[in-house]
Structure 1
Amino acid sequence: MSESTETWARRYAAFFSELSEPDLERLGEIFEPEARFKDPFNDVTGLEEIRRVFRHMFRQCPKPRFYLHSWAVQGNTAFFHWRFTDREDDADGRLRLDVDGVSRVLFNEAGRAVSHVDYWDPAEYLYDQIPVVRGILRLLRRRIGA
């Protein structure tokens, strides 16, 4: 395990654990200018595009928060197991996100991310909250499952 990558992973985890909208101007401290960010809904390259994804998150989610469960480092790669929530309650009637996922982050020699790929299941954590889609997913799961 590389001590440098462990340090970079710790800094990266701290940044996202405390992320607020003004921090988006500091993305260049942890991402390379031409870094790639990918999740189930986005696949973008470059700091401005990454900022756009996170600005959208702040517009859609009243109180986004990433909770880091654990991470592992291998070479220049860190794997983060996290939980994302977008509010304390769903009293306003909007969909509430409570997502468990994993990110694979590749670091360069300067300790900045060149690639960040999120792995999580939108069917389990998002689509199941929409009544019509939930019914279709249940039908599909019954037909496909053992």
Structure 2
Amino acid sequence: MTAASPAPRTNRLIAAYEQLSPANLPTLLALYGEQAAFKDPFNEVQGRDAIGRIFHHMFEALHDPRFRVAHSATEGDHAFLTWAFHFQRRAGSTELCIRGATHLVFSPDGLVALHRDYWDAAEELYMKLPVLGALMRGLRRRLGTPQPGLV
């Protein structure tokens, strides 16, 4: 089998993420190799089934989760995406947004071999939670460099 050209395989993955739902999760997972590796700030797994479990849990734990890719760049077997992940902790709660980036490595067959997400859990998640957020903001103020006019 010949490898897909770089941009189309990246674009297929972007489309699958932007249309992701429990019903079409198999479409996304079909773009990953059987032994693909996945890592984010909370998970590190190997294998398509393990990656699928992460997404199943996401749909169980969050209300209306959705991805929007802002930018992408592909060079050879590597792709880099910047994205926003929107969700609610439960129906009717305030919508939250996590911004991050993904590094992808494609195998010769055009499937994803490595998926690594980069995002700041402290800034993008913990700071937005009621109790923990207040503690994090206080810590940030205490450890940060004073800004002129804000002291």
Would you say same fold, with TM above 0.5? yes
Structure 1 gaps of 5+ residues are: none
TM-score normalised by the chain length of structure 1: 0.87
Aligned to 2:121: 122
Could you tell me whether the CA contact under 8 Å between 2:62 and 2:90 is conserved in 1?
no
**Alpha carbons of 1:28 and 1:126: their partners in 2 closer, same or farther (altered >3 Å)?**
closer
TM-score normalised by the chain length of structure 2: 0.84
Aligned to 2:97: 98
Aligned to 1:17: 18
Could you tell me whether the CA contact under 8 Å between 2:103 and 2:116 is conserved in 1?
yes
Please tell me whether Structure 1 or Structure 2 has the larger radius of gyration of its CA atoms: 2
Q: CA RMSD in A?
A: 2.0
Counterparts of 2:124 and 2:118, CA distance in 1: 12
Structure 2 gaps of 5+ residues are: 146-151
Could you tell me whether the CA contact under 8 Å between 2:13 and 2:28 is conserved in 1?
no
Higher-helix-fraction structure: 1
**Alpha carbons of 1:91 and 1:24: their partners in 2 closer, same or farther (altered >3 Å)?**
closer
Q: 1:97: Cα distance to partner?
A: 2.5
Please, which moves more after superposition, 46-55 or 61-70?
61-70
Alignment size in residue pairs: 142
Aligned to 2:139: 140
Q: 1:27: Cα distance to partner?
A: 4.1
Q: Which amino acid aligns with 2:6?
A: T
1:58 matches 2:59: yes
Aligned to 2:43: 42
Counterparts of 1:28 and 1:21, CA distance in 2: 11
Q: 1:84: Cα distance to partner?
A: 0.8
Structure 1 runs, 4 residues or longer, greater than 4 Å off:
none
Counterparts of 2:32 and 2:7, CA distance in 1: 16
Could you tell me whether the CA contact under 8 Å between 2:29 and 2:52 is conserved in 1?
no
Q: 1:91: Cα distance to partner?
A: 6.7
Q: Deviations over 1:9-50 (max 9, x none)?
A: 011111111111122233442000010111111111111110
Could you tell me whether the CA contact under 8 Å between 1:78 and 1:106 is conserved in 2?
yes
Secondary structure in structure 1 of the residue aligned to 2:71: strand
1:111 matches 2:106: no
